[in-house]
Amino acid sequence: MKIGIVGLGLIGGSIGLDLRAKGFPVVGVSRQAHICQEAVRRGVVDSAGIDLKLLATTDLIFICTPIGAIVPTVKQLVSHLTIDTVLTDVGSVKTAVVEAIVPLWQNFVGGHPMAGRAESGLDAAEPNMFAGKAYILTPTDATPRATIEVVQRAIFALEAKYYQCRPEDHDSAVAWISHLPVFSSASLISACLQETDPKILALAEAFASSGFRDTSRVGGGSPELGMMMAQYNQVALLRSLSVYRSQLDQVIAEIEQANWTALEQRLQQTQVARPQFLS
Ligand code: NAP
């Protein structure tokens, strides 16, 4: 199975590294010639270029561009493909992407690897990024079974944990565990910056350690990625943010009222619940 990758950044580069390592031939397309050369030099792809026509002979193509560029890329790409070519994308939001691509290409299934890091670009690509992590496909009722099976083959080669759900269910679920954390973590950093005493702020910056590192990581990542989450998953994100705000209001009320019993129960519940999300 010959693999194509459009967008040789963090996710595209990491997919290329692992699939090549598993023996799949990989062709890459980037908008920049020097990235193509670098990707070949680093063993991310066997060959690469700036022309989408290079993917004409591939069997499975991963669209690994930012979310806003996925549909425009597919529109440019499809005229170069044979009818059997399978397309998938790796965008963090699925409903808007799937709805736009299904009318353009029958052999398409949306996908989302739940792996990543704050850095972006080819330099951030690394091997084994997907091993043991969830990789979700979001077929519609019209997606051919064979299309899903082709992408599944690659997902199993990445040693990821395979999941399948409807695009809307994916977006609701990731709003809770991926998109809400970006904005709660960003708000945490913004809140710290509201300290008006420069001496206290300097001390807070000096004292920040593992707790702040853990809780601020996703809020300190790529603004472009956060913007895409908000723009393309607006409804589900707003719902999760509203519930989060109401939880914060309850915490404030419990502390104001010195309701230590309620606060302790809350923290006991969250201590018990956290492993359910991370086991
Ligand atoms: P990235 O490192 O910035 O890579 C994206 C690549 O796409 C860039 O290196 C760029 O390559 C190309 N690109 C940028 N703008 C483009 C445009 N307008 N048209 C065509 N190509 C363009 O980003 P990433 O983190 O890999 O994210 C890629 C996709 O993965 C996104 O859809 C994101 O939602 C999804 N995702 C990200 C994460 C994460 O943690 N970062 C996790 C799961 C899924 P050239 O400049 O070389 O063309």
pLDDT tens for each residue of 128-168: 999 999 999 999 999 999 999 999 999 999 999 999 999 99
Share of the chain above pLDDT 90, in %: 96
Amino acid 233: pLDDT: 96
Looking at residue 6, the DSSP 8-state letter turns out to be E
Q: Are 24 and 1 in contact (CB under 8 A)?
A: yes
Chain position carrying tokens 């990731």 = 174
Please give the number of the atom of ligand 1 that sits closest to the Cα of 68.
18
Mutational test site, ligand 1, from 8, 10, 52, 98, max ligand atoms within 8 Å of CB: 10
Q: Convert the pLDDT of each residue in 98-126 to its tens digit.
A: 999 999 999 999 999 999 887 889 999 99
Q: Residues lining ligand 1, CB < 6 A?
A: 7-12, 30-32, 35, 64-67, 69, 73, 90-92, 112-113, 116, 120-121, 225
Q: What is the pLDDT of residue 119?
A: 85
Task: Tell me which residue has its CA closest to atom 12 in ligand 1.
Answer: 7
pLDDT per residue over 211-229, tens digit each? 999 999 999 988 988 999 9
Ligand 1 atom at minimum distance from 67 CA: 32
pLDDT (tens digit per residue) in 11-48: 999 999 999 999 999 999 999 999 999 999 999 999 99
Nearest CA residue ID for atom 38, ligand 1: 116
| 149 CB-contact burial (10 Å; exposed 0-12 / middle 13-18 / buried 19+) | exposed
Mean pLDDT estimate for the chain: 97
How many angstroms separate the CA atoms of 114 and 181, rounded?
Answer: 14
Q: Return the ligand 1 atom nearest residue 35 CA.
A: 47
Q: How confident is the model at residue 192 (pLDDT cuts 50, 70, 90)?
A: very high
% of the chain beyond a pLDDT of 70: 100
Mutate to test the pocket of ligand 1, among 225, 233, 237 (most ligand atoms within 8 A of CB): 225
Is 64's pLDDT higher than 80? yes
Q: How far apart, in whole angstroms, are the C-alpha atoms of residue 223 and residue 209?
A: 23
Task: Give the model's pLDDT for residue 219.
Answer: 94
Residue 199 tokens read as 């001496």
The helix (run of H) or strand (run of E) holding residue 151 is: helix 145-157
Dihedral of the alpha carbons of 20, 24, 28, 34, in degrees to the nearest 10: 30
